[in-house]
Chains A and B, each alone.
Chain A
């Protein structure tokens, strides 16, 4: 079953602007991850935030997690045309199998 729900489904911005995507989930989690998928390709892991963390940074990426609201956000600062892709959140329940549940994704278009 799909746990993560991303919002918005699509986002269109100009180069240099910030892009914010949100993810909500339903059950308790061990961690939440964000992945990027360029058109027609496989997914690439971007960042992981554990359930006991509230914020994490990686380069131009900032992820927040609010476990009380069961939600996360991904902020991409100073976006570039190369950031154009689909972005997915994925939640992990905590087994050693590493099983993830993915959301439906947000399509980000960055115009030069």
Chain B
């Protein structure tokens, strides 16, 4: 079974802090994705990566950056957390040329 793990289920940070969210997949997938999920807005793509050290902006990249130094790991970075970044963050991975995505359990981030 594909396994996608995220570093924390719940996280509470202060405004202005730098926040790292880690995602690891064990299926050698080329593609990895970061989404945020908010009530009434569904899932919105923040960034994705199709190879090591490669990244592409999604629909809402402002205030975020990403890092992919190893194939299995994709990190989402909030450079200076703000209260409007309070959300559920979901990581996913998938094979190149295929479209199914496999999701982690999510990190519920609260910025106070």
Interface residues of A (CB under 8 A from B): 1-2, 4, 30-31, 33, 35, 40-45, 48, 88, 90, 92, 96-105
Contact = CB atoms under 8 A, between A and B. Distances in A.
Q: Across chains A and B, which 6 residue pairs bring their CB atoms closest together, nearest first?
A: A42-B103, A104-B42, A102-B43, A43-B103, A92-B99, A98-B94
A54 B50 CA distance: 30
Interface in B80-98: 88, 90, 92, 94-98
A45 B100 contact: yes
B50 A2 contact: no
Contact of A99 (B42, B48, B88, B98): B48
Contacts of B35: 102
Given A40-B106, A42-B92, 14 more contacts: A31-B99, A42-B4, A42-B90, A42-B103, A43-B101, A48-B100, A88-B43, A97-B31, A97-B96, A98-B31, A98-B97, A99-B45, A102-B35, A103-B42
Contacts, number: 70
Q: Which secondary structure dominates chain B's binding surface?
A: strand
A100 B58 CA distance: 10
Contacts of A43: 43, 90, 92, 101, 103
26 contacts: A1-B59, A2-B42, A40-B88, A40-B106, A40-B108, A41-B106, A42-B103, A42-B105, A43-B90, A43-B92, A43-B101, A45-B100, A45-B101, A45-B102, A48-B99, A88-B42, A88-B43, A90-B101, A96-B96, A98-B31, A98-B98, A98-B101, A100-B101, A101-B45, A102-B44, A104-B42
